[in-house]
Structure 1
C-alpha cells in the first residue's frame, strides 16, 4: 500500500474523524487523494496555509489541532501558559470555529488564551499580543488567498510572526505528534475559565495607536476616499479611524459584509486587477481622489489614484515609495527625524524606496521575504538603540508606519496615504505626481511580479526543478544583458565574474537574485504560502516607456530560460 493510500485509509476509517469530512473523502478520485495526502502541510513564510478540506496536506480541524498541540507543548516547555496566547481570526470558512477550538485545546493544556469576540485584522492580533503581555499569538487567516484557502499564523511575545529559529522548535513539536486524528479539544469546565473573550477594550487601544501616526492631523481633508475591505476584517477599523480623523470615506457597500465566499469581488488580492473593479466604479461615480483596497486580514493595502482624469493603480513598490517620501519629508521638515534612522524592506523590494530614504539620510536594511524578518529587526534595535525605526515595507502591498504592531498594518497605511493625499492636494498635486517627481530625482523603475502557478505534487516538483536548474546553470546574461552579480540565498554565495564570496546576514532561503549591467535586477523564489514560483522584476529605464519595454523583454527572456 502506498503512503497516500495508507494515510487516506487511516483518515477514512478513524473513529475520531470529524463527520463532515467522511463524505468528502469518499467522493475523492485518485488525483484528489494524492494531492490531499502525498505530504503533510508545512509552515512557510507566513505560517501554515493551504486548501480547506480533509487530508494531511489540507487545512482542517485535525491539522489545526496538530499544529496547536505542538505549539502548546512548546508554550508549556517555555513556561508561557500563564501569560497566555492571543487568538484572532478573519472572515473565512471555519476561521471562527478553528480559533475557538484552538482556545479549547490550549485550555486543555492549562494555557490561558484571549480570543477576539469576532473577526479582527491580523495587525490588531499582533498589537493584542503586546498589549496583553502574552507569550504569543495565533491568527487564523489565509490573508489574500482565494476562498478555498485558510491558514494558521503563529506570533511570539513581541507580536512578530515566528522567525525560523523559533518556528523550527514548534515544528519539531508538531512533527513529533504521530496521530493528528487522536487529538481532541475537550477541556473541563474549570479549564474553560482559562479562556477570555476580548473585543472593544483592545479595539480602543489599537485605534488610539493608529491615530497617533498622523504627521499633519490638521491638514485640510478636502479629499474623497473610496474604500473596500474586500469582505474582510478592515471594514470596521478603517472606517472608524477615518471617522475619528475627519476623512470622508465612501465604503464599497457590496464588499463590506464578512462573506467567506467573497461573492462580490473577483479576487480578494490587491495584487490583482479584479480586486479594484467595483471600487473603480464607485470612484468614477463619486469623483474620488483615492481608492484604497485591503485584503481580507487587513495587512495589505492596494492604492488607486485619480490622475489627469483617470485612475492609476499603484504597485506596492510605488505606494511604499510615496509613503517613504511623505513620512521622511515631514519628519525632516518638523525636526522629528530621529538619530540614526533606518528603514526596512526585503531583497525583492524595488530600489526606488531605498534611494528615496537615502535622500533624507535614512539607511536601509534588507531582509528575506516575510514581515517577520522586519519585525525581528525592529525588536533588535528596540533593545540596542543603535538605530531608530522610520518605516518598513514589502513589495506585496504591506507596510508598517509605527511599530506598536510587528506585522504589516493596512489600517495604519490607509490613514497615512489619506493624509499624504490631502497634504499634496493642497499643493495642487496627486500621489502619481509625487511618484513622477521621485522618478525625476532617482531614476525611472518598473517593478512587476510574475507568478507561475504549479499545483499538486507534480507542481511542487517542477518548482524545485526550476530553482535547481537556475542554480546549476546560472545565467551569465538575460535577454542579451550581462549579469554582473548573482546572489544565492540558499547556498549563501555572491558571484561577481569569477569571484565567489560569502553572503551573510540572512537565514538560508531558496532565493536567487540576478543584477544586470543596466542597473536592473531579477529575483526568483518559490512562494511560501501558495503553489507558485515567483519572479520579481525591478527594471531601470530612461523613461516609463523604456522601463516598460525592457520589462516585457526581460520577462520573455526568463520565460525562455525556464522553458529549457
Structure 2
C-alpha cells in the first residue's frame, strides 16, 4: 500500500474524524487523493497556509489541532507565566475561520493555557495590537490573507505582536513535527477548562482605533477629497470606516463588497495586487468622481491604491504607494520639527530602490530585510530596546506598510488613514498622488517595478520550483536580456559574487532568494513563495523615462522566461 493510500485509509476509517469530512473523502478521485495526502501540510517559518478540505496536505480541524497542540507544548515549555499570560486569537472572514479560532482556544484550554478570542472577525493588525495590549505571551491569527476563497491559514505571533521569526518558529516546528497522529487530538473541554477562554471585542477595538487616529501628522488638513473604499468582503470594513468617520473623511464604501462573505461573491479577486480587485471600486469612483480608491485584502494588512490623474484612474503598485507615503511622512516630520535622531526606514530585498532614495533625501537610513514583515518587526523591537536608531516607516512591495509600530505587522487601517491625509494635503497644493510620484521620479530616477508569479501546484509543481532555483543558482547568468550582470547575491548560500570575487553575504537569515544586479542600475530577484505554490520573479527596472523603463521591463521578463524555460 502506498503512503497516500495508507494515510487515506487511516483518515476515512478513523473514529475521531470530524463527520463533515467523510463524504468529501469518499468522493475523492485518485488525483485528489494524491494531492490531499502525498505530503504533510507544512507549518513553516511563515506559518501554515493551504487549501481547505480533508487530508494531511490540507487546512482542516485536524491539521489545525496538530499545529495548536505543538504550539501549546512550546508555550508550556516556557513555564507557568507563559500559560497564564495566554494567547490572543483573531480570525478573518474565510470558511471555517471562526471554527478554527475557537477550536484553537479549546486545545489551549485543555493544556492549561489562557486565551483571548475576538467575538467576531478582526484585522490581522488588530490581533498584533491585541497581543501587546493584553500583555499576552503570543497570538494566533486564522487567515489566508489575499489568497482565493479555497484557502485558509494559520500565523503565530510573539509577545511583541510580531510574527515568529525563524529562530522561534523552528522551535514550534519541532514540537509540531513530534506529533504523529493529528486525528488523535481531542478538542472537547470541560466546564472548568472552558473558563480559560475569554471572548474579547469592543474594548480592544477602541484602544486600537485611538492609536490609529493618533498617527495623523496634519489632522486639521482640509478634507475635501472623496474616497472610494472596499474591504473586499473582509475585515477592514468596520475599522477603516470607523477611523475615517472619526477623522472627518468622506468615505464612499463599495457596499456590495462590505459583507464578510467567505466566497468573495462580488469581487473577481480579494488580492489588491491584481487589477480585478478594483473593478467595482473603479465604477464607484467614476460614478462619484472620487479622488482616490483604497482597497484592502481580507485580513486588512495590505492596501491597494487608485488615483484620479488627468481625468483617468491610475492603479499604483505597492512600491509606488509606499514611496509616496514615505515622502509625505518624512517631509511632514521635517516640517513639524519632529524627525527623531538617527531615523531608520525598513523595507525588503525585493522592494524598489526608489524608497531608499526618498529616505536618503530626508536624511533617513534604510535597512533591508528578507521578505516577511516579521523581519521588520524584529528590527523595530531591537532598536526600541537599544535606542540606537528610531523607526519612521516600514513597507514591503506587496502593498503592506506600517506607520507607527504599536502594531508589529502590516497595518492597512493605518495606511488608509495616512494615505487619505496625504491625498488631502497634496490636493491643497494642486497635486494628486501620481503628480507626487512623478516628482519623485524626476528627482531620483524613473523605475518600473513588477512581479511575475509562476503558479506550479502539487508535488510536480513544488519540484519544478526547486529545480528553477537550483538551476539559476548553479549557472548564474552573466547577462540578462543583453545587459551584463554586475553583482549576484545568493541569500541561501550567503554569498555575493562581484567583479570576479566571492564574498560573504551577512545580516540575513538563510533564505532561498537570488538577486541579480544589472549594469544599467536595474535588478531582478527570484524566490519561491513561502505561502503559495508559486515561484516569484521581481523586477526593479531603471529607465531614462517611463517608456524606456517599460520597454526594458518587457525585455528582461522575456529573457528570464527563456532562461528558466517558463516561456512556453
Q: TM-score range by the shorter chain?
A: over 0.9
1:240 aligns with 2:242: yes
Residue in 1 aligned with 2:57? 57
Shift of 1:23: 1.1
- Number of aligned residue pairs: give it: 564
Most deviating of 8-17 and 255-264: 8-17
Q: Distance in 2 between matches of 1:498 and 1:550?
A: 26
Q: Distance in 1 between matches of 2:521 and 2:5?
A: 52
* Gap change, CA 1:531 and 1:62, over 3 Å in 2: same
Residue in 2 aligned with 1:538? 540
The DSSP-based 3-state class of the residue aligned with 1:43 is: coil
Residue in 2 aligned with 1:345? 347
Residue in 2 aligned with 1:472? 474
Residue in 1 aligned with 2:507? 505
Deviations 1:268-318 (A, max 9, x none): 000000000000000000000000000000000000000000000000000
Deviations 1:225-247 (A, max 9, x none): 00000000000000000000000
Residue in 1 aligned with 2:86? 84
Q: Distance in 2 between matches of 1:375 and 1:58?
A: 29
Residue in 1 aligned with 2:281? 279
Residue in 2 aligned with 1:386? 388
The DSSP-based 3-state class of the residue aligned with 1:178 is: coil
> In the TM superposition, what are the counterparts of 1:546-561 in structure 2 within 5 Å?
546-561=548-563
Runs of 4+ in 1 over 4 A off after TM superposition: none
Q: Distance in 2 between matches of 1:416 and 1:90?
A: 23
Shift of 1:44: 4.3
Q: Distance in 2 between matches of 1:412 and 1:102?
A: 28
User: TM-score w.r.t. structure 2 length?
Assistant: 0.99
The DSSP-based 3-state class of the residue aligned with 2:83 is: coil
Residue in 1 aligned with 2:308? 306
Residue in 2 aligned with 1:69? 69
Deviations 1:180-237 (A, max 9, x none): 0000111110111111000000000000000000000000000000000000000000
The DSSP-based 3-state class of the residue aligned with 2:84 is: coil
Residue in 1 aligned with 2:42? 42
Shift of 1:398: 0.1
1:264 aligns with 2:270: no
Q: Distance in 2 between matches of 1:399 and 1:285?
A: 29
Most deviating of 257-266 and 42-51: 42-51
Residue in 2 aligned with 1:450? 452
| Maintained 8 Å contact 2:233/2:257 | yes
| Maintained 8 Å contact 2:44/2:169 | no
Deviations 1:405-447 (A, max 9, x none): 0000000000000000000000000000000000000000000
| Maintained 8 Å contact 2:51/2:150 | yes
| Maintained 8 Å contact 1:234/1:294 | yes
| Maintained 8 Å contact 2:45/2:170 | no
| Maintained 8 Å contact 1:45/1:369 | no
Residue in 2 aligned with 1:361? 363
Residue in 2 aligned with 1:399? 401
Q: Distance in 2 between matches of 1:73 and 1:538?
A: 43
Shift of 1:165: 0.5
Q: Distance in 1 between matches of 2:492 and 2:6?
A: 34
Q: Distance in 2 between matches of 1:529 and 1:471?
A: 22
Instruction: Quote the RMSD (CA, aligned, Å).
Output: 0.7
Q: What runs of 5+ residues in structure 1 fail to find an aligned partner?
A: none
Shift of 1:38: 1.1
Residue in 2 aligned with 1:15? 15
| Maintained 8 Å contact 1:45/1:370 | no
The DSSP-based 3-state class of the residue aligned with 1:82 is: helix
Q: Distance in 2 between matches of 1:130 and 1:536?
A: 34
The DSSP-based 3-state class of the residue aligned with 1:227 is: strand
Residue in 2 aligned with 1:30? 30
Q: What runs of 5+ residues in structure 2 fail to find an aligned partner?
A: none
> In the TM superposition, what are the counterparts of 1:79-478 in structure 2 within 5 Å?
79=79, 80-478=82-480
Deviations 1:103-127 (A, max 9, x none): 0110000100000000000000000
Shift of 1:497: 3.0
Q: Distance in 2 between matches of 1:325 and 1:186?
A: 53
The DSSP-based 3-state class of the residue aligned with 2:85 is: coil
